[in-house]
Amino acid sequence: MLCSKKEFDERIGSILITAEEIKEKIKKAGEYISREYEGKPLLLLSILNGSFVFAADLCREVTIPCEIGFMRVSSYLNGTSSSGDVNIIMDVSQDISGYHVVIAEDIIDTGRTLSVITEKLRRRNPLSLKVVTLLDKPERREVDFKADISLFTIPDLFVAGYGLDCAEYYRNLPYIAVCNV
C-alpha cells in the first residue's frame, strides 16, 4: 500500500546509528572473518529479508574466497510484535555440510529466529556455524541466544533502516533510525 511522503517522514525518528558507524564496524568484522576463515570453505548465509543490506556490505569487506547463500525466514505476524513462530520460506541452496557457515543477521530480538534456525542448520552438519549480527537487543530476549559477533547492542527501541523495516518501509535507509510506532 502506498504510504504518503508525509506519513513516511513522520514515522521515522532520530538516527541511532549512522552510516559511517555501520561501515566502520562492518569493515572490522570483514577483516576478522577474512583472517579466521582463510584456506577454509566459507559460506556467508544471509537471513532474508532483513539482512540483505548488511550481508551485501559485509561480503564486500571479506577478502578471501567466499560463497553467499540465502535463506528466507519469517517470524513476525505484523510489523512490530513477534508471533513466536519461525517459518522457513526459502531454504539455502547449498549443502552446508561442506562449509564453515557464517550467518549474517540484521537483528536479534527475542532470539527465537536464530535459536530455531541454528538448531535446524546444525543438524545438517556444517564444518562450523557462527552468527554475526548487526544489532542485538538483549533486553527483549525470550530464549537464551548469543551471537558470536554482535556489532551494536541497542536499547529496546523499534528501529528501522539498513535492511530493517517498519511495515515494510525504510529498508533502504543507509542508517538505523528509531521508528515512531
User: Which parts of this chain interact with ligand PRP (CB under 6 A)?
Assistant: 47, 49-50, 73-76, 82, 105-113, 165
Nearer to ligand PRP, 36 or 140 (CB): 140
Nearer to ligand PRP, 34 or 154 (CB): 154
Catalytic status, residue 109 = yes
CB of 65 to ligand PRP, least distance (A): 27
Catalytic residue among 106, 109, 136, 165: 109
CB of 22 to ligand PRP, least distance (A): 16
Question: Is the distance from CB of 120 to CB of 150 less than 8 angstroms?
Answer: no
CB of 26 to ligand PRP, least distance (A): 17
Nearer to ligand PRP, 25 or 112 (CB): 112
Give catalytic residues, as residue numbers: 109
